[in-house]
Structure 1
């Protein structure tokens, strides 16, 4: 994999410029983008900056965090608070994401997206209202372990951390999740599955593969 140094600002601008003139693969009026990576990679910040850059270019953008679509604790933590198998394959409510986020953005869909469903801190429904993403708008979904679910992303960006960097930058209380990310590397291969890979071992000096087809 060939990587070129870049700044976060230039990377965000390049992605936004690309998306501002892109069309959806399914011919629909909305684009769907993934910013995938472990929590230590800071996917939320990068997704928010991309959303702001898109809006500055005249494209409506809705940033959605996968943490708003976790299953209730009774299901998520059924086998304990540190069950790696459950974290890897059972925490994210993929059915809810399909129903509330992706299906409304299919061709002929309503464009009415639920930005979050469940608060994992209070373990209660968020009761958020639906947001209507106008035609031409861009959904930016961020979070860990997003690839490999057949979500219909038009562009996927993977923020890659080496195993050493991931362990170093992951909070000690969350290091029990590290085997799940090792399994993700083995089974999904996010660096191969993503359209754009960004090496983020040094948060001040990212490097990337460039845009697809360039």
Structure 2
């Protein structure tokens, strides 16, 4: 399951909250943040540290996320996953080992810009933050990323693709909108 949304919407926070609630229901859960599958700085920042187009297209290593996580826990895979590939702080391989996926387990992958890059998720929850709310809520040092999210809305239309949308303009008052097979 993808929990797609900008960092200001808290996709990892939601994924971890869901993961805590699933074991009592007989479904163990694993959270693998997409942030652990960013490309090395030499590729990610090739066009500069504040290039919104690079943020949109060059940061996430979607092929590695598919190869090391989604394909491995999916049908025919070895039922194991790599929890992190790249240590962004040190800009080097994390050197993590594969971990077993629990039987009947649910994999949650939180992060921004996850749709439209060919990742095979069974369920996608999109945390939608309207452009005006993004502009208010993004920290000033991250404002350069805003055009990447505008482009994502225009080119991918993540709310239309998602199975469920959480309107997250105001984090203290989220609103769930079911759609697709759930609506």
TM-score, length basis structure 1? 0.82
For 1:138-149, list aligned pairs within 5 A: 138-149=106-117
What is the number of residues matched between the two proteins? 182
Task: Provide TM-score, normalisation by structure 2.
Answer: 0.95
Once the two structures are superposed, residues 10-34 of structure 1 have per-residue CA deviations (whole angstroms, 9 ceiling, x without a partner) of: xxxxxxxxxxxxxxxxxxxxxxx00
Q: Mind listing any 5+ residue stretches in structure 1 that lack a counterpart?
A: 1-32
Report the equivalent of 1:118.
86
Match of 1:99 among 63, 67, 71: 67
| Within-5 A mapping of 1:30-179 | 33-179=1-147
Alignment partners' CA distance in 1, 2:135 and 2:23 = 35
| Alpha-carbon distance, 1:134 to partner | 2.5
CA shift, 1:122, in A, is 1.2
Aligned-residue CA RMSD (Å)? 1.1
The structure 1 segments of at least 4 consecutive aligned residues displaced by more than 6 Å after TM superposition are none
Please identify, of 197-206 and 126-135, the stretch whose mean Cα deviation from structure 2 is larger.
Answer: 126-135
> SS in structure 2 opposite 1:209?
strand
Structure 2: give runs of 5+ residues left out of the alignment.
none
* CA-CA distance at 1:141 after TM superposition: 0.2
Q: Does 2:171 match 1:203?
A: yes
